[in-house]
């Protein structure tokens, strides 16, 4: 995990610029949906915000994301209808 301050953790999703724009335009919806998925598995992790940084999306959580949390974000991103899966290069923890 890459720490940005004492309590912020990040998941980085490398993808093409078109996908970045599609995800960012609906970031509020994506945050709510990912948090709902976390709640369904009774995880205490919550997404604070999603932002773009060049050709990647950075999902910032309020605490350290576990591998299960990482898998939830990965599954969510891959299930998005308007995202080209062949254009997603990788999901990773910094």
pLDDT tens string 69-84: 888 888 888 888 777 7
Q: Which residues, 6 or more positions from 89, have their beta carbon under 8 angstroms from its beta carbon?
A: 14, 15, 16
Q: What is the pTM of this model?
A: 0.80
In a domain, 2, yes or no: no
pLDDT tens sequence across 8-58: 578 888 888 888 888 888 999 999 999 999 999 998 999 999 999 878 888
Q: For the domain that residue 83 is a member of, what is the CATH number?
A: 3.30.70
Greater confidence, 60 or 91?
60
Looking at residue 35, its pLDDT comes to: 95
What Cα–Cα distance (Å) separates residue 10 from each residue in 2, 77, 86? 6, 15, 23
Structural domain count, the chain: 1
């Amino acid at each position: 995990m890459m720490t940005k301050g004492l309590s912020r953790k990040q998941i980085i999703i490398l993808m093409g610029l078109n996908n970045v724009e599609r995800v960012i335009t609906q970031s509020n919806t994506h945050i709510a949906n990912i948090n709902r998925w976390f709640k369904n598995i009774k995880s205490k992790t919550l997404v604070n915000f999603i932002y773009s940084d060049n050709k990647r999306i950075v999902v910032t959580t309020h605490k350290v994301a576990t591998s299960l949390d990482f898998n939830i974000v990965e599954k969510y991103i891959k299930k998005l209808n308007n995202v080209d899966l062949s254009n997603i290069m990788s999901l990773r923890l910094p």
